[in-house]
Amino acid sequence: MRRVHVEDIENGMVLARPVYSSNGTRLLQEGATLKEKYIPKIKELGYNAVYIQDELLEDVEVNDLINEELKREAVEEIKDTFKKVDNKVSLENQVDDIKSVLNKIMEDVLDRKNSIVDIIDMKMYNEYLFHHSVNVAILSMIVGMSMGFNSYDLYKLGLGALLHDVGKLEISNDILNKEGKLTEEEYEQVKTHSQQGYEKLKDQEQIPSTAKIVILQHHERYNGEGYPNGKAGEDIHVFSRIVSVVDVFDALISDRPYRKGVVPSEAMEYILGGAGSLFDKRVVGHFFKKVAAFPVGSEVVLNDGRQGLVIENFESYSLRPRVRIIKEKGQDIQPYDIDLRETKYNKVTIVKVAEGEAEQSNFSQEATG
């Protein structure tokens, strides 16, 4: 399957992933043929891209973050939770439901213990906060699992990650969705969300204290340059150090009103560049081991000019997937596969992702804010 931007979808393409409405109803099944009249509807729903079947990749499997249904369930759960928090309703009765969703995610994550994930997320633009929260929870738990955490720790980490941005409820949507660059003042306001989120939940006894610490600390940076308290190194809880990496990664790959998302490999480069300064090196190492820089379906260009599609990723080899070569010297050829882990391909690297027309702007704001 191939990721196709909404502006490029055409009549007759066949969906490789279902399309959902914002309340989680499945509107179009996997395998459905796109008709002209569906296209504006998909855009209206807020999708930035859809997944389309591709005969060149028919035999290819994707190691999704988690299954789509469970993802929807989690999105609905966090939506509900945020609504309750916003209305100052106690989470006493909600925590069990959240726990059950997190447990399902954990099972899913543990099931794929020795694999690497292909991020092929379809976030709905207007539901960014909820999708982002769920993604950050899942990815954090994957990193936590790689670091050998027990299931209770994974639960606390997952819960903190799921709620990390709850303080954004206090920030006006005009600022959160602003298309241009934030003014100094607006940015200062955004920066209050971690403290505000913590204040909102600090008295809720059913929420473990380490989960609350994640809310407070997820914008602290390893070198002490973060906020709200400028904590550094091991003074930042390890859960918060994990969430900070994952949060920045997911934010960078997402389309935002003020910029388009970058491809995972670019976001990864940014994270790797910050290892040891902005981010905990050890956490970055585990992240890099578990998340594919070039998800299955990515169109890539190799340093020898050959072009192809990524068809499989391997744990610990984030940059060296198996690639189906489809073009040489710009000409279509009979496709064949190469495995970049093999020593004979030592000198072959991926230099470009073809779909990456994304601009690199506002990176620094994400790094600190």
Q: Measure Cα distances from 313 to 3, 22, 290, 367 in Å.
A: 17, 31, 10, 27
228 vs 285 by CB, closer to Fe ion: 228
Q: DSSP readout, 183-214?
A: PHHHHHHHTTHHHHHHHHHTT-TTS-HHHHHH
The residue count for binding Fe ion (CB under 5 A) is 1
219 vs 324 by CB, closer to Fe ion: 219
CA–CA dist 346, 359 (Å, integer): 30
Min CB(340)–Fe ion separation in Å: 35
Site for Fe ion, residues 66 to 95, rule: CB under 5 A: none
Min CB(164)–Fe ion separation in Å: 6
Site for Fe ion, residues 107 to 166, rule: CB under 5 A: 165
Contact 155, 102 (CB under 8 A): yes
50 vs 242 by CB, closer to Fe ion: 242
Contact 42, 15 (CB under 8 A): no
Contact string (CB under 5 A) for Fe ion, positions 164-193, x = contact: -x----------------------------
CA–CA dist 222, 238 (Å, integer): 10
Min CB(229)–Fe ion separation in Å: 15
**Closest chain position to Fe ion (CB):** 165
Helix, strand and coil in the chain, % to nearest 5: 45, 15, 40
Contact 129, 190 (CB under 8 A): no
Min CB(193)–Fe ion separation in Å: 6
5 vs 191 by CB, closer to Fe ion: 191
| Amino acid at site 203 | D
Min CB(167)–Fe ion separation in Å: 7
**Could you report how far apart the first and last alpha carbons of the chain are, in Å?**
34
Task: Work out whether 220 is an interface residue with Fe ion (CB under 5 A).
Answer: no
70 vs 216 by CB, closer to Fe ion: 216
Min CB(315)–Fe ion separation in Å: 28
Which of 176, 244, 170, 257 lies closest to 213, judged by CA? 244
Which of 211, 218, 242, 221 lies closest to 147, judged by CA? 242
Min CB(252)–Fe ion separation in Å: 13
Contact residues toward Fe ion (CB under 5 A) are: 165
